[in-house]
Structure 1
Amino acid sequence: MEPVSSGTNRSGILNRQQTGAGYEQQARRLLEKAGLIFVAANVRFRAGEIDLIMRDGATWVFVEVRYRRNDLFGGAAASVTRSKQRKLLKAAALWLNGRQSSLECASCRFDVVAVTGVRINWLPNAFTAE
């Protein structure tokens, strides 16, 4: 009788998570060099996850970090679909609500740090709440 795999070998997932964490660190350093202040990372809600939360003066900056090995299917920036944007908006609204604020009242923006291959591209105000 052959042994049945228990499915516990998840090394591919861990490597992907570690890779993502590395690019999030790179993005954080880039934004801090530009003068933004780090607030939080990997903030999770049922509605979605926010990779980085930063401050740019009085503005809350919610950052999505995306990595793609190449641009054969549009690159990292193109992977932030409207569906993903809605999830980020919901998560940001929940986060602000926890601070007695809202998307309507707080000064905030949504940035994307897109890493395609070795190119890193910061897209401030990549999309809006409207």
Structure 2
Amino acid sequence: MSRKDIGNDGEAIARALLERHGLDHVESNYSCDMGEIDLIMREADTWVFVEVKSRSNEHFASVVEQITAAQCQRIRRCAQLFLIQNNLNEHITRMRFDVVAIVMDYDQAQWLQDAF
């Protein structure tokens, strides 16, 4: 399985997990000059920006440990741009940044709400 396949499968698993918990899918793979947001979801009055980390195994490091401060900052900036571009920045009441970590070998998905 290629890295791209692992990433695509991970995003599909993460989206299904979040939808099962009542979140509504808005957009996948939102891209801007500053980076990308894997999933944009809504939960009632909250915009949820999700970073999905998928790995075939955890042999080298925990999936969650691989998220850097710089990456968190890029995701925050992309989220702000998404809201501005879609004229949503005046209508939001809350924002949250979540992480869904998936390890394919173990068929595990860990959802960290308000991760950063």
**Match status 1:125 vs 2:88:** no
Of 70, 92, 99, which aligns to 2:57? 70
**Match status 1:108 vs 2:100:** no
Residue number in structure 1 paired with 2:73: 86
Shift of 1:75: 1.0
The answer to which of 111-120 and 56-65 deviates more is 111-120
Question: What is the identity, as a one-letter code, of the residue corresponding to 1:77?
Answer: V
Of 23, 29, 42, which aligns to 2:10? 23
- Are the equivalent residues in 1 in contact too, given 2:49–2:96 (CA < 8 A)? yes
Measure the CA separation in 2 of the matches of 1:74 and 1:92.
Answer: 27
Measure the CA separation in 2 of the matches of 1:112 and 1:100.
Answer: 25
Question: What is the identity, as a one-letter code, of the residue corresponding to 2:26?
Answer: V
Shift of 1:53: 0.3
Measure the CA separation in 2 of the matches of 1:41 and 1:18.
Answer: 15
Shift of 1:16: 1.6
- Are the equivalent residues in 2 in contact too, given 1:68–1:75 (CA < 8 A)? no
Rg larger in structure? 1
Shift of 1:80: 1.1
Residue number in structure 2 paired with 1:53: 40
Shift of 1:47: 0.2
- Are the equivalent residues in 2 in contact too, given 1:113–1:121 (CA < 8 A)? yes
Query: 5+ unaligned residues in a row in structure 1: which ranges?
Result: 1-11
Shift of 1:106: 4.4
Counterpart of 2:58 in 1: which secondary structure? Answer: coil
Query: Under a length normalisation based on structure 1, what TM-score does the superposition of the two structures give?
Result: 0.79
The answer to which of 26-35 and 74-83 deviates more is 74-83
Between the two structures, name the one with larger relative contact order (CA 8 Å, sep ≥ 6): 2
**Over aligned residue pairs, what C-alpha RMSD do you find?**
1.9
Question: What is the identity, as a one-letter code, of the residue corresponding to 2:33?
Answer: R
